[in-house]
A = this chain, B = another copy of it.
Amino acid sequence: MRPPPLERWDWLEAPDGLELVPEGGVTTPAGFRAAGAACGLKPSGALDLGVLICDEPGASALVDTTSALPAAAIRRNREVRADGFRGVVVNAGTANAATGSPGVEDARRMAELVASHASARPDEIAVCSTGTIGDRLDMAKVGAGIAEAAAGVAVGGGTDFASAIRTTDRWRKSAAFRVGETSLGVAAKGAGMIRPGMATMLAFVTIDAALAADDLAAMTRRAAEGSFNRISVDGQMSPSDTLIVLTSAAGEVVTGERVERIADALRCACRWAAIQMVKDGEGAEHAVRVRVSGATSVEEADAVARAVGDSPLVKTAIFGRDPNWGRVEQAVGQALAGRGGPVADLAVRLDGVDVASVEAAAVMERAEYELAVELGRGGSSAELFVSDLTHAYVTLNAEYHT
């Protein structure tokens, strides 16, 4: 299933001149090949193993989870250089998390298998796993899947790769963007449904421009901060969260203003994937951009945005199309507890409409809207994209065994 169109294109904060490439993906940028295979980790028989390779690799960058109990693939990737990846192998169905040292050994073996098929070194292959926590990988299946996918990587394989990394995502998250001579492709997965123990977030971006490793690392951190770090489906950090950016070394190293343009495009591509994750959050019916302004610091604005966006009372009100500003005020009061300083009367607006007005209920019927909170005590602001708390969320997470 294709990703549904984003109604609020302005949420991407796209730089001037950025174009969406219809049906694009991680193999849209020149020099990248990919494939997906079905190796039996998903009981449905769907694609569950993906390989992505760059033919003439440039620098890479990686941002991963801050969880104190990271999954095996995270631990393995930290053993090698984050700027030296030329390819990625991803399996869905089993997260290889909470599997101890044997799990890390399995992750290392995945990289070795890809390397042997792709004429690469193991330390050039990043490894990602998503699925159930606590189970060991079936390495016989994984090995067969890697052999098939590595042999089948093709310029048109981006769509299969994006399908293979899904767990319970309703649709694949695949897109490409063009800015000037440069293309950026993205594939991502969001909060799963059938295996709700692990709302693992994975995202991969490809760029067909040679970038200095330092430039790429800086723009990747900035893009992650402005996208994946600004979303929340249920406030629950995964032990496997990973963003990997691969670049092709074709052409001369990009410098000057073009670096900025690519950085802006990378941030935009990541925002597209992040917002798709919220729209496809477990049981979600709404994607809401919470915008907090008038805070005394960015940290305070962020705390208020998370208090509002993660509040089960606010999230059920979004589900119920109930313009319940009392619950927003309650969450703000909690977030500001102990912070001191004046608290003025709040202004709460839904797509610019006062939440207490009769028009507010109509805004809440929209699939995407903005919930703005003005604190009136400073000049700092923050945003957070969130989904709602629905019966489908409870059903998915209570009734399915993990």
Contacts and interface: CB of A to CB of B under 8 A. Distances in A.
A309 to B, nearest CB: 13
A217 to B, nearest CB: 20
A14 interface: no
Nearest to A325: B134
A133 interface: yes
B67 A197 contact: no
A312 B232 CA distance: 12
B339 A69 contact: no
Interface string A118-132: 000000000000001
Contacts of A133: 326-327, 329-330
A236 B336 contact: no
Contact of A334 (B97, B237, B339, B389): B237
A402 interface: yes
Contacts of A1: none
Contacts of A320: 397-399
Contact of A324 (B326, B333, B391, B402): B402
Contacts of A395: 391
B401 A390 contact: no
Contacts of A69: 329-330, 332-333, 336, 343, 346
Interface in A35-69: 66-69
A283 to B, nearest CB: 9
A316 interface: yes
Given A313-B193, A334-B197, A326 B402 contact: yes
24 contacts: A68-B334, A68-B337, A97-B329, A100-B345, A132-B326, A133-B326, A133-B327, A133-B329, A134-B329, A192-B313, A196-B316, A197-B313, A197-B326, A197-B327, A197-B337, A234-B313, A235-B312, A239-B330, A239-B333, A317-B398, A320-B397, A320-B399, A389-B398, A391-B391
